[in-house]
Amino acid sequence: MSSKQVAIVLPLLLMTYEFLYVPKEQRFLIRNRLLVSGGIILGGALLLAYVLLVVDLENLAASKIFKGYRGELSLYSVAITSGRTFWRYVELLVWPSGLCPDHTVELSRSLFEPTTLLSWGGLIALVALAFLVAHSSPLLAFGIFWFLISYLPISNLIPTSYLLADRYMYIPSAGFCIILVGLGETLYTKLNSFKPRYAIPMMAIVGGLLIVGYSLRTLSYNSYWKNDRILWQYALNCNPQSFRAYSQLGVQHYRAGAYPEAIEDLTKAINLSYHDDYVNRGSAFLEMKNYEAAIEDYNHAIAYRPDWAKAYLGRGLVYFDMGQYEKAIDDYSQAIELQTDYSKAYNNRGLAYENLNRREEALENFLEATRLDPDNGAAHNNLGRALVYAGRLKEAIQSYERAKQLGVTQATKILKFLNNQGLPSDKKHMNPSGPPPAHKEAENLESSMPRVERDMPRSP
């Protein structure tokens, strides 16, 4: 239930199976009125609780961009559009020529629009058909019911999900396959009654065409999944209004170091109302040392979401790069207040304190960063340096060892130097005015290593 909400319809599917395949005198679920009525009441209560507690109906417009809606948004418009999206799913299953990582659907304005009215009429006719063939072809009826029932949780009669997403068909498509088998059974029966000798060859031809057709479509779509860049470029081809595609491409450019291209794509995502990319674009501006633009983007992100810890971390990175360490500390502290387990923020705040020569506070922050995230290699490396400065050589070596294990290559050089110095007592080397000369040399060895942690851009 926590991974796939469609599991909530399992009782309905079981009742459908019992209705179609179990003799009346042997039925349990349908005949037990107490069980049926209790299930309806419980199901209704759970649905109501879900709507009230999870679905933010008052702020429906805030989620418009994420759900693939386009047009005038209301509960009514989303609900009536679900009839059209149902037939779009059917179309994609019958011949998947328009599969796309990100769909955008134009909302219906009225139930009486021709396409909307026709879609709901067809849906009602399909339900009627399932009941009509229940006796003569229970397999076909079961396939139709399976498809209809498993479509309910993602139908958006209550707006809780994307209007159209290929992946939502994983479970309903089982019903579609059952329908194909049911139709094949019916076709075979008809052929066998008229032309018995042609029945099997004809069915073999039909089955072969289905397998070849779907296999070719599968091979065709496989080519789009070679890497993220190809996939999201294809997404733009099939849906030019996809902010996700621009965002994903922007992130790919960022990770490749192509910052101007990243900014261009992320700007297009922002222009399509995806405000989360202000943080990602701010990161790209920071890499290009365009501090003014970076701060402006982080300010936009904070205005959009005042509780966004990552935005404060990003702006803190800009101030740190500019040498404004007090301002950086303020932003890192705000990020920690919003997200108390933010290891990167503790690590970065420790670096800002270190640059202000507030060594004890720096050490405390590095310790907290490693406690919160034992796999934070940068924090372990920074902790090692702080411990060296404090004259706590044994602990410093342990921190550098851990940093080395976590892939911090510079730690190897530091370890080699420190181990060559032997292990003098910590007390002997305590020096409030600065580290001992040998320890200072160790600190200088890693002076070129980037110590600040970025929160890498991510896409929706």
In this prediction, residues 391-395 reach a mean pLDDT of: 87
Written as six digits, the tokens of 11 are 């009782």
Q: Judge whether 202 lies within some domain.
A: no
Assign 113 a pLDDT band (cuts: 50, 70, 90).
Answer: very high
The residue from 160, 194, 228 where one domain ends is 194
pLDDT at 257 over 80: yes
pLDDT of 180-237, one tens digit each?
Answer: 999 998 889 889 888 888 899 999 999 999 999 999 999 999 989 888 889 999 999 9
The residue from 147, 172, 194 where one domain ends is 194
Residue 45: per-residue pLDDT: 80
Written as six digits, the tokens of 404 are 């080395």
Query: What domain range includes position 428?
Result: 341-460
What is the number of domains present in the chain?
Answer: 2
- Do the beta carbons of residue 203 and residue 196 sit within 8 Å? no
Q: Judge whether 23 lies within some domain.
A: no
Q: Judge whether 255 lies within some domain.
A: no
Q: Judge whether 418 lies within some domain.
A: yes
Q: Angle at CA 392, nearest 5°, toward 386 and 394?
A: 115
In this prediction, residues 91-108 reach a mean pLDDT of: 89
Assign 250 a pLDDT band (cuts: 50, 70, 90).
Answer: very high
Q: CA–CA separation, 184 vs 197, rounded Å?
A: 16
Phi-psi region of 211 (alpha: psi -120 to 50; beta: other; left: phi over 0): alpha
Residue 442: per-residue pLDDT: 39
In this prediction, residues 275-284 reach a mean pLDDT of: 92
Q: Judge whether 275 lies within some domain.
A: no
Q: Which CATH number is 437's domain given?
A: 1.25.40.10
Residue 391: per-residue pLDDT: 85
Contacts of 326 by beta carbon, 8 Å cutoff, 6+ apart: 352, 356
Q: Judge whether 15 lies within some domain.
A: no
pLDDT of 420-455, one tens digit each?
Answer: 665 444 434 434 344 444 333 434 444 434 356 666
Residue 310: per-residue pLDDT: 93
Q: Angle at CA 305, nearest 5°, toward 304 and 311?
A: 100
pLDDT of 336-364, one tens digit each?
Answer: 999 999 999 999 999 999 999 999 999 99
Q: Judge whether 6 lies within some domain.
A: no
The residue from 194, 211, 241 where one domain ends is 194
Higher pLDDT, 91 or 45: 91
Average pLDDT, the chain: 85
Q: Judge whether 70 lies within some domain.
A: yes
Higher pLDDT, 423 or 25: 25
Assign 154 a pLDDT band (cuts: 50, 70, 90).
Answer: confident
- Do the beta carbons of residue 173 and residue 44 sit within 8 Å? no
| Alpha carbon separation from 271 to 268, 274, 395, 421 (Å, rounded) | 5, 7, 50, 58
In this prediction, residues 98-114 reach a mean pLDDT of: 90
Q: For the ranges 65-69, 104-108, 117-121, which has the lowest average pLDDT? A: 65-69
pLDDT at 388 over 60: yes
Instruction: Please give the DSSP secondary-structure letter assigned to residue 452.
Output: P
Which pairs from 98-101 meet CB under 8 Å and 24+ separation? 98/238, 99/166, 99/221, 100/166, 100/234, 100/235, 100/238, 100/239, 100/242, 101/166, 101/231, 101/232, 101/234, 101/235, 101/242, 101/244, 101/245
pLDDT at 249 over 70: yes
Assign 263 a pLDDT band (cuts: 50, 70, 90).
Answer: very high
DSSP-assigned beta bridge partners for residue 69: 105
pLDDT at 64 over 70: no
